[in-house]
Amino acid sequence: MKKTTTHLSPSKLYCDVFGHNYQVSKKVTSYVKEYTCKCCKKQLTTNSNGHLTELTPKYQEINNLLEDMYNRRTMRLKNKSLVTAIY
């Protein structure tokens, strides 16, 4: 019978004992952000309900599209306000 051993990295052990230390790694919109743990590099994002969920490829794609739409909308609104301010 083979014994399997798992090697715990010090950063993983730190997160297991003290909890994750998340910091904002990317602001997708003003209300959707991506977070990364400083120690173990685990990534989370805000879902549609405002709760934190693990950042999967599906959520990465959603966040990229959402960021693109948000940036286009804000640029369009800025241009519109500049045009109306001139008149």
pLDDT (tens digit, 9 = 90+) per residue, 61-80? 999 999 999 999 999 988 88
Question: Does residue 82 or residue 76 have the better pLDDT?
Answer: 76
State the amino acid at position 78 in one-letter form. Answer: K
Whether 21 and 11 have beta carbons less than 8 Å apart is answered as no
Question: Does residue 79 or residue 2 have the better pLDDT?
Answer: 79
For the whole model, what pTM was predicted? 0.76
Nearest Cα neighbor of 25 from 43, 47, 50 is 43
